[in-house]
Amino acid sequence: MLFRFRSFPVYIKAKELRKVVRKLLKVFPTSERFSLIDQINRAVNSICLNIAEGSNRSSDKDKAHFLNQALTSLEEVIAAFDLSLDEHYVTQKEMDNLLILAEDVGKQLIGFSKSLLRS
């Protein structure tokens, strides 16, 4: 079945995370446009795109590889927001809310990957 990733709970949650991140980026200073903003955008997009790319791979090991790529992109998003917090581009409350959502996505990615590798 084509595009089955669209029904994956982790994909749906990753898209939700992307919306939150994009909203937060709107208040970043323009001086970060070609630095943190672009980097965060690439990383948050990569989460969704790797889930999609791995969904139709022929082996479970290959699918799990792409889920791991999505997870590493998620780690990159959080690291970039740590830097953003240091620069006061986001508040601690915004960061805490982002972390809750990101942890949910991360747990789903890890669980999905483990289930593939067990089968």
What pLDDT digit, counting tens, does each position of 54-103 carry?
A: 999 999 999 999 999 999 999 999 999 999 999 999 999 999 999 999 99
Residue 34, C-beta contacts closer than 8 angstroms, at least 6 positions apart:
none
Question: Would 7 be classed as within a structural domain?
Answer: no
State how far the Cα of 5 lies from the Cα of 3, in Å rounded to an integer: 5
Higher pLDDT, 2 or 114: 114
**Predicted local confidence at residue 2, as pLDDT:** 87
Question: Would 23 be classed as within a structural domain?
Answer: yes
The mean pLDDT value of the chain amounts to 96
Model-level pTM? 0.95
Q: What CATH number did the domain enclosing 40 receive?
A: 1.20.1440.60
**Predicted local confidence at residue 32, as pLDDT:** 95
Neighbours of 115 (CB within 10 A): 12
Q: How many domains does the structure of the chain reveal?
A: 1
State how far the Cα of 109 lies from the Cα of 74, in Å rounded to an integer: 10
